[in-house]
Amino acid sequence: MENNNITYINYENGALSGANISEGVTTIGKMAGFFKDEKARAAIQPDTIAYRVQIHSAVTQADKPGTLYYGVTFLNPGMVGNEYYMTKGHFHQKPTAEYYWCIQGQGKLLIMDKDRNYEVIEMSPGTLHYIPEEYAHRVVNTGETPLIFGACWPADAGHDYQSIVNQGFPIRMINKNGKPVIEATI
């Protein structure tokens, strides 16, 4: 029996239910400028869901230092041209670290510092990732099933998407002969 004040985590698929949950949806239509092949992106039905994020918030004031958010992202499998579905990616406005952990699926975590030094890190069920402060982070689903990952970050971090729109990441994950390969961004 569910108690109204309790939040539950489904340990199979990461889904949250119960109290204090909100959900955000990012469609392919909202991702103009993020993929290499903008023509291919624009040709996809704009309400096609790239990913959903459930957020648990017990925070009454979002910019209060010391508070936390907990989120779970459900990143669908799919391609835009030959590029895998991915999250937009962002820097935190305040230099704050974040934990990611993979619950289901297969993919890559891309991180990049201000000097555009980057790393490509394997994500598979059970992998835990500490994203240092001042590193942009993006997740790419290179598998054929949803990539589901949890996250926990300071509620006052803020999200800077504009730097990513302007400069992108130095690399992209491309499907070449059925395998994910790293391609340098020109």
DSSP for 109-131, please give it.
EEEE-TT--EEEEEE-TT-EEEE
Nearer to ligand PAN, 44 or 71 (CB): 71
Nearest-angstrom CA–CA distance, 184 and 186 = 6
24-32, 94-102, 161-169, 174-182 -> range binding Zn ion (CB under 5 A) = 94-102
Q: Which residue is nearest to Zn ion (CB)?
A: 98
Nearer to ligand PAN, 14 or 71 (CB): 71
Nearer to ligand PAN, 44 or 69 (CB): 69
How far from 168 is each of 33, 148, 149, CA to CA, in Å?
9, 23, 22
Q: Does 168 interact with ligand PAN (rule: CB under 6 A)?
A: no
Q: Does 87 interact with ligand PAN (rule: CB under 6 A)?
A: yes
Nearest-angstrom CA–CA distance, 19 and 56 = 8
Q: In angstroms, give the least distance from the CB of 137 to Zn ion.
A: 6
